[in-house]
Amino acid sequence: MESSHTKDPVYSFNGDDDDDDDVDGIPTLIDDVLKPTTSIASKPSFAREEAKSEKGIVSNTEDAKAVFTIDGEGFDVILSEEKGKILWSPMSASGRKKSGRKLSGMLRGRRPSLAEKSTEDGVAMKYLFGVQVRRKPTTNNEKGLCQGIVLSMLERKHENFLREKTIFMEHPSEELCTTWEERIMAYIKSAHQRPQTVKLFFQPYAGAKTGRTMFQRTIYPLFQSAGISVDASEIVHSEYVKQAIAHLNFEDYDCIVCMGGDGTVSQVVDALMNRSQKEKGVDIKTGASAAAAPVPLGIIPTGRTNHVAFSLMGGIDPVTAALHIIYGHYQPVDVCSIITPEKTCRWGFNSQYGFAGQVLTYLKRYKSLGSKRVDASIIKALTKAKLRAYECEIEYIPAENQRKGEQIPCTTGCPICMEASKYGNVTDFSTDTVQELDPLNQSFTSNTSSVIDLPQDSPWKIVKGKYMNVGLFAIPGRTKMAPQGHSKYTHLSDGTVDLILVKETERKEFVRHLRRHSNSKNQNDFPFIEVVKAKEVRFRPRYPTGWNYNDHDFSEIKYQMEREGSQMQNQESMEVINDLERANSISTLDISDEDDDDDSDTEDKEPKPQMLGPQYRRTFTEIEVERRRKIARKKEEKQKAREESKMLSVWNIDNQPFKTLELDIKVHHGLLAICACGVSPHTEYEDVRATCLS
């Protein structure tokens, strides 16, 4: 017979279940109103494929029946793999009459929840993620004395928070409990595409430095109850993640998990995406289309800000993040490639230049303040001596659909992200349409101009000016100080980034803009703020025209020699062009190697020895003059450094400092799958009071 359970989507917003009706009443992760009807078929499967029929799971085994004790009362329990349920009913008539009494023994040590009514008659096995035999340690038996089986499932604690729910069914038979455990676990593994083996990188010193204790007492027991094999590695130095992922065999793992703060997430994402490009032979620096990550990424937040996990889950609860990984809830996310002038590539989600970069530089200075260092850094950056605008030149390719009138936040089952995933990227502008000058090409004659202009239909737009902050957001960037995000209407997977340009304005107006991050008002609704949806951005800092500084490394003789050399090279190129015009053929050109032979003969000659006179001895006056010049030069260099610090800032890439200023940033649509299901549309936000801005 066929089961009512349908095949789970491989890569969807709502995880495992696509049933339209919740007959068992178990609280699900996704609201039925916003549940998507189709999955993203363009993404690969990240979990092991199990043998399934086209319509569902076919079971030929008979129903198992036994008597278990639940909350001190006897129940007839039926394990029906055909229906995919575990049903129970009280044995005594008095138990049936006690309708007001709940099965309080199902939630050991926890307060009763609204989901208890759903487990009065049974539970659907599709909601379970683990089953274990509970044993009592004894001296005679190594395994211990069998007490029963424990069913593990989840329930909703809040709109965006989940917790584990356990149901304990007592029975003394070791053979019976082991058989039930094997059958239930086999059904769970065959009915769902969930990870079975994970590679976990955890940073024990992130945030409150409780990562090791939390992993041992909370996270690892959850994975163990779900039957997931965990290969855990502690991050011991800054290059550890990069080296480990470079030699990792992705076929051995169903998911890569990082446990830490924003720095840990940035390291894992950077190493994972670079390894993916290397395996596919993609050179992202040349403008080629990037390759997607072969395995999904799980994030267990234990840091201070955790803006990536907050943006995808609506909170920073480690248990909720672990349950998303266990159930295999995958959310596609846009990732940005960041290329420097040295052609080095790194990956990230959000990037900011200006005020946000200055705040990040002051965090190390106030590290001793603990949790108050963020407020102290913001106050320092807002002082009149530090708050300033920066000269920038920004080139960008605008997206086709700007959606200026729409202000729709990204939530679970977002229609904008689903529409973008359906059609994908239509156009990929990766290279400039600039023709290179070739002096041997006959089309470039002496009558033509040497200046080559960009074509009129170039997709690039250029803006120049003074900006107090430049932000590029691929995700909303939610934090405790900005619960709705630094960019409230940025979507997770629409193939664009929000380019937010905060122009030069008064200090009080800029503070008003910052205060709106902590309330429900639109922080970008100001005349000095411009928001553009872009696909690719090029950023270049600008220096003032009047720069009063003596360059001691400048040599007039060297400059004149380089200038004459360039003029001679241009003259030779023009002679070649004139010869082509006169002869209209390359056969009349003198291409003999006589001059080369003469040059080789001169090179073979030994240099003549130079006669050296007596060594000149400097006077004390000359030594003193040179010493004073060195002192003056050091003062000028310090003055130059101070002036440059006022004119330039640093990049804040995912709350990590990045000192290279000239960057080329390009967004890639849905390259990475992260274990999450988005923010609930019913989330209620409360205004946060920022003490540093009051």
Tens of pLDDT, residues 71-117 = 888 899 999 888 888 998 888 755 554 444 444 444 444 444 434 44
Same-domain check for residues 213 and 282: yes
Write down which residue in 140, 175, 191 finishes a domain: 191
Same-domain check for residues 112 and 212: no
Write down which residue in 174, 191, 208 finishes a domain: 191
CA distances from 605 to 595, 597, 600, 610 (A): 16, 13, 9, 15
Question: Is 386 within a domain?
Answer: yes
* Per-residue pLDDT, 607: 56
Same-domain check for residues 331 and 219: yes
Question: Is 407 within a domain?
Answer: yes
For the chain, the average pLDDT equals 78
Write down which residue in 173, 191, 209 finishes a domain: 191
Phi-psi region of 76 (alpha: psi -120 to 50; beta: other; left: phi over 0): beta
- Among the ranges given (259-268, 424-433, 597-606), the one the predictor scored with the smallest mean pLDDT: 424-433
Under a CB-based contact definition with an 8 Å cutoff, are residues 328 and 467 in contact? no
Under a CB-based contact definition with an 8 Å cutoff, are residues 292 and 135 in contact? no
CA distances from 149 to 65, 119, 144, 180, 224 (A): 14, 16, 14, 8, 15
Question: Is 555 within a domain?
Answer: no
Reply yes or no on whether the pLDDT at 433 is more than 50: no
| Short-list 127, 164, 172, 129, CA closest to 148 | 172
Q: What's the pLDDT band for 406 if we cut at 50, 70, 90?
A: confident
Overall number of domains in the chain: 2
- Among the ranges given (343-347, 470-474, 496-500, 535-539), the one the predictor scored with the smallest mean pLDDT: 343-347
* Per-residue pLDDT, 609: 54
Q: Whole-model pTM?
A: 0.75
Same-domain check for residues 253 and 352: yes
Question: Is 448 within a domain?
Answer: no
Question: Is 265 within a domain?
Answer: yes
Residue 206 sits at the vertex; the CA angle it makes with 200 and 208, to the nearest 5 degrees, is 125
**Strand pairing class (128-136; 162-170):** unpaired
| Short-list 313, 203, 306, CA closest to 257 | 203
Domain extent at residue 153: 64-191
